[in-house]
Structure 1
Amino acid sequence: MKRLLLCMVVLLLAAGLFAGGQPDGGSSGSGQKPVTIRVIKIDDPLEAMAFRDIVNEFHQIENGKYAHVNVEFDIKPFAELFPSITKAVATKADIDIAMVDGPNVRHFAFNNVIRDLTEYFSPEELKTWAPQSVEEGSYAGRFYGPPLAQSAQLLWYNVDMMNEAGIDVSNTAGWKLGPNGEALRNFQKLTVDRNGDGTPEVFALNTDGPWDYFYGLTNRSAGRKGSNTYKAVADDGITFVGYFDTPEAIAAFQFQQDLVYKYKVKSAQTITNQMFTGLSATHFYQDMIIGTQKDMFPDFKMGAIEPTYWETPICHTGSWHYGILTTSPHFEEALAFVKFAASDAGAKYIWKYKNQFPANVNLYNSIDEFVDPASPRHLMVEYFQKAGVMRIATPAYTEYNTLFTEFWQSLMAGERDVPALTRKYAAEMQKAAQPYKGWNSR
């Protein structure tokens, strides 16, 4: 209920800011002619509150140097965002800044949708953000956009269920996967089938959307660091055959399916708040789950350990980046806004309202929840630094992720020939990536 009321307040606040007016009613404190920069981004009520404060402070920096700059937001559902960005450039629409998901920076840079910002950020400025964020915002050795935030995952758990199952989690290291691994033994202890009908009332594992961000770790973890399996795509960014479908990857995918149909410790269905409502004992997710727990389930006892893994511990990183469109009519003002929004001063508002892992090193090193050794967020930072890698490096990430989603849905639906399914999709991913041949040699 608290989050619902918060969203209602956000919508009221956003009515003025996102409709395009200046906070002061349109007057320019700097005495300069008003300029309007437009930002296209995903629809996110919590971000609306953050950007309200970011814009307000942006108007005050450097003695009001940018008080004449209006900032308007064109918000889109996730499914419409990327096509809208491409269309804005193709039609030379009056859009200046786009929020781009980290793995898609390469795609938009390759297609000349977002501008190369390398010369506008010094090496010292790049140290503002975690190395993963700088890598995610870069293409072919050039920097295209600073981050809004970061992300990493842990295995969150119901403390009471873990205690009832007699599982010791004082050692927070991840459990190894596989038919003989510690993970399966613990998952079986956590699964509850009270009436013995073969359908558990409580599953050990939650099920999330069929996205590469979560489940692309399945195959990558099955390989040693630097191996074809670990990389999932060749260094050329377009070769998936022999990488996505290695024997190790196929075995890992098969085991994920077995968790549902053979061992019955995981549901094939995605259920909202599955762990919080008592339908699963664990949830593999980002630290934003803490905000959900605090807002909606304040009495829920939640702990965390490192995620499960096969051969190599790994977590996917990355979140949104600020990209300035090549067709922006107001580059100077757009750059100033992007620099401020991505700075420690701007990023503190994203943390305040979204409660998401900051990309800014100074920021997360100064927040108690990330510094306190007893906090799950401290564990997440340690795991991020140890095992965090960006999602696969390909300019065809959008195409790849669409195909991965189809693949995962078929896998979870019980497709019997997992090797053939994996090889089929590796070939389709490779075919879809061919238009980008030579992308990393530009």
Structure 2
Amino acid sequence: MRKRAVAILLAAAVMSSMISGCGSTKERVNKDGESVITIWSPSDEPAIEEWWEEKIAAFNEEHRGEIHLKREAIVRADSYAYEDKVNAAITSKDLPDILYVDGPTVSVYAANDIIQPLDDMFTEADWNDFLDSTKNQGTYDGKIYAIGATESSVALFYNQDMLDEAGIKAPDKLEDAWTWSEFAEVAEKLTKDGVMGTNIIMDKGEGIPYVLEQFWISGGTDLVSEDGSKADGYINSEAGVEAATFLNGLIQNGYANLDPIQKEFHNKRAATMLGGSWEVATLEKDYPDLNWGVTYFPVADNGGIPTSPTGDWAAAVTRDTQDKDAVKEVMNYLFSADNVTTYAKAISKPPTRQSSYDVLTEYNEYPRSLFKEQLMETGHPRPRTPSYSVLSAGFSEAMVNIFTGVDPKEALDKVAEDTDKDYNKYYAQED
């Protein structure tokens, strides 16, 4: 492989790293002679911050005199604040020991030798307990580089009252999932009286590839090749253009909004919604009077592949760590069956360990059981390519452009060209 340029992660990081110096300033051993292990992860809601405080305190008490664990919670109000800090630390050789990264960025960090493989970090029994979707997300070039405590999925939420009024029954078995044509017919019937038939846009950034990539997969292709080296012939293939055209039809026919109002489904302004597994807790807590249900992610016509998104933030061990034994102790603590279970409970997301579902029995009952089933049976992570940042931004822009009138093939060709140009410049094998 060619020598990777770390600067490709974020252009802005180049300038910040130039003023960061080149020597590590991170504390490695404290005054008590304890090996100091540092974690960086995004700040989260109070319940999760409390979880971190409790678990770190318990770990430090148990390992007093040997290891001291500390965490820096980094606010992500500015979407690039976290990445800017990471990239500045890359050049200054001041990375934390354990770095939390979003699922699709694992390949970028792994390809640039910023994080280390984790294959020897856990026992075989532990690895077997982690969901395949989670291990797949963290895999690059045949090795696992990151592991998380929680997963995610997306399914089709629906307003039960609106479906009843229209005489529509939602599928309750995976093999009966609505096809694209059936989904469009349902959206058409439900679009009336100021209510949209569906909501397909989580946001105009990362939400677009996270959710809409599944239409490419169901149609028999993907945004890039399996090894992540090529976008041309995949994202812009005949099947890819068909997927984009179908989605555009939902917008152009008035069944979905390009700019949906906030909480469009929750506020009864959309009859259905492609929504994340985390929406279950939100609807139960904040919208107790809304009569809703959830069914499977739609599949392509004519024998389409059942599929659904997966992925979440995961922990990686950086190249700058100096005490791998201590890091291994921390990783085994953080991702023990008990801690994965309690973390998943606190954040209201599906756990990544199969054994956790023996404790979190709510995932054996509808509606959470549907998301568990999708994770086990139909889950696909976002593309594992070191050129993901180019692909993701380009795909989001292309889909918005398509929804506003640009020819689908033209828009997707541009994404393919830009993605392949980036990959060939930085990651393609030399002749």
Name the TM-score, length of structure 1 as normaliser. 0.82
**Residue 271 (structure 1) aligns with:** 261
Alpha-carbon shift at residue 319 of structure 1 (Å) = 1.0
Tell me, yes or no, if the aligned pair for 2:35 and 2:66 is still in contact at 8 Å: no
Q: Deviations over 1:258-287 (max 9, x none)?
A: 1111x2110111432111111111121221
Name the SS for the 1:233 alignment partner: coil
Name the SS for the 1:324 alignment partner: strand
RMSD of aligned residue pairs (Cα, Å): 2.3
1:429 correspondence with 2:419? yes
One-letter amino acid of the structure 2 residue matched with residue 207 of structure 1: I
Structure 2 matches for 1:383-398, cutoff 5 A?
383-398=374-389
One-letter amino acid of the structure 1 residue matched with residue 308 of structure 2: C
**Residue 299 (structure 2) aligns with:** 309
1:75 correspondence with 2:67? no
Aligned residue-pair number: 390
Distance 2:218 2:171 in 1: 23
1:174 correspondence with 2:164? no
Tell me, yes or no, if the aligned pair for 2:41 and 2:71 is still in contact at 8 Å: no
Tell me, yes or no, if the aligned pair for 2:199 and 2:260 is still in contact at 8 Å: no
C-alpha change, 1:329 and 1:76, in structure 2 (3 Å) is: farther
Distance 1:352 1:397 in 2: 30
Tell me, yes or no, if the aligned pair for 1:203 and 1:267 is still in contact at 8 Å: no
Tell me, yes or no, if the aligned pair for 2:197 and 2:270 is still in contact at 8 Å: yes
1:189 correspondence with 2:189? yes
1:209 correspondence with 2:200? no
One-letter amino acid of the structure 2 residue matched with residue 384 of structure 1: L
C-alpha change, 1:105 and 1:407, in structure 2 (3 Å) is: same
**Residue 277 (structure 2) aligns with:** 287
Name the SS for the 2:100 alignment partner: strand
Distance 1:170 1:401 in 2: 31
Q: Deviations over 1:353-396 (max 9, x none)?
A: 21001111100243221123xx1111221122221122222121
Name the SS for the 2:115 alignment partner: coil
Name the SS for the 2:314 alignment partner: strand
Structure 2 matches for 1:50-65, cutoff 5 A?
50-60=51-61, 63-64=62-63
Distance 1:274 1:330 in 2: 49
Alpha-carbon shift at residue 206 of structure 1 (Å) = 4.5
One-letter amino acid of the structure 1 residue matched with residue 312 of structure 2: S
Tell me, yes or no, if the aligned pair for 1:94 and 1:329 is still in contact at 8 Å: no
C-alpha change, 1:94 and 1:257, in structure 2 (3 Å) is: closer
Name the TM-score, length of structure 2 as normaliser. 0.84
**Residue 409 (structure 1) aligns with:** 400
Distance 1:187 1:265 in 2: 6
Name the SS for the 1:259 alignment partner: helix
One-letter amino acid of the structure 1 residue matched with residue 418 of structure 2: E
One-letter amino acid of the structure 2 residue matched with residue 139 of structure 1: Y
C-alpha change, 1:134 and 1:47, in structure 2 (3 Å) is: same
Distance 1:66 1:405 in 2: 50
1:367 correspondence with 2:360? yes
